């Protein structure tokens, strides 16, 4: 079995036009090294990125019916960031099949995360051209099925204060303000309560073992309230 036939078996997709697969695996360094405008995988990468966005956007839209545009966008970004895509490329063994320049080969290009991520998107673009949208969608869902299975809820908010400020400043020029409402307990076991306000109106309160933690909880509570209620 040839190397490309083995790869296609691993992909679960067999190309009618194998030249598309070879193009998806051709790193731009090949053209640069030869000093000619040869074909490489960047155009297919562009196409694959768009196909990936459509497929995953539809899945998130259907799975999380109560989520707003902002949460869906952030969730999609977590699924398709460069680190995630390079992991997919590595798991498929794309590195061993990359067509590289001598210089890129000698500097570890086969394991370079950016090269693996680009090749994965280019591969998806090639499948789209070779087999159509349904084939590309099937491949994408197979690749991301484990991650979607883990998403019982949208990915958590990592920086509630930052996200609250971003949300509020999309509606108003004023940033949120935080006020300490109370602090109680012994020095080694303090309990803080903070309020978050915007334009003089209290949005929510939060509690925590530090002022920072209480502010974060207040921001998180405010985000939940604001996302339940559309902007005026």
pLDDT, position 149: 61
Out of 45, 49, 104, 193, pick the active-site residue.
49
pLDDT, position 232: 46
Torsion of the alpha carbons at 113, 119, 125 and 127, rounded to the nearest 10: -120
Active site residue 163: no
Host H or E run for residue 67: none
pLDDT, position 108: 87
- Output the CA–CA distances (angstroms, integers) from residue 165 to 51, 77, 83, 160, in the order listed: 32, 20, 27, 8
196: closest CA among 181, 178, 212? 178
Q: What is the Cα–Cα distance from 21 to 7, expressed in whole angstroms?
A: 10
Q: Which residues of the chain have pLDDT under 70?
A: 1, 33-38, 66, 68, 149-158, 227-232
Out of 121, 130, 143, 163, pick the active-site residue.
121
Q: What is the Cα–Cα distance from 219 to 53, expressed in whole angstroms?
A: 30
Active site residue 121: yes
- Output the CA–CA distances (angstroms, integers) from residue 71 to 46, 76, 147, in the order listed: 24, 9, 17
Q: Specify the 3-state DSSP secondary structure of 54.
A: helix
Domains and their CATH numbers in the chain: 3-150 (1.10.1520.10), 160-228 (3.30.160.20)
pLDDT in tens, 111-160: 999 999 999 999 999 999 999 999 999 999 999 887 776 555 555 556 78
Burial of 42 (0-12, 13-18, 19+ CB in 10 A): middle
């Amino acid at each position: 079995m040839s190397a490309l036939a083995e790869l296609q078996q691993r992909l679960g997709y067999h190309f009618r036009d194998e030249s598309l697969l070879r193009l998806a695996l051709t790193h731009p360094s090949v053209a640069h090294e030869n000093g000619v405008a040869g074909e490489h995988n960047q155009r297919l990468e562009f196409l694959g990125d768009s196909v990936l966005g459509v497929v995953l956007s539809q899945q998130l839209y259907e799975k999380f019916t109560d989520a707003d545009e902002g949460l869906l966008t952030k969730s999609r970004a977590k699924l398709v960031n460069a680190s995630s895509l390079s992991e997919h490329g590595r798991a498929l063994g794309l590195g061993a099949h990359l067509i590289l320049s001598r210089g890129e080969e000698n500097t570890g290009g086969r394991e370079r995360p950016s090269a693996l991520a680009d090749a994965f998107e280019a591969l998806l673009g090639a499948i789209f051209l070779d087999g159509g949208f349904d084939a590309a969608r099937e491949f994408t869902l197979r690749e991301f099925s484990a991650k979607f299975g883990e998403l019982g809820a949208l990915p958590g908010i990592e920086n509630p204060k930052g996200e609250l400020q971003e949300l509020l400043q999309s509606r108003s020029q004023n940033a949120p303000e935080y006020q300490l409402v109370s602090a109680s307990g012994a020095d080694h076991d303090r309990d803080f309560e903070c309020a978050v306000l915007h334009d003089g109106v209290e949005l929510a309160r939060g509690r925590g073992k530090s002022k920072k933690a209480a502010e974060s909880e207040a921001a998180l509570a405010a985000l939940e309230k604001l996302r339940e209620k559309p902007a005026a």
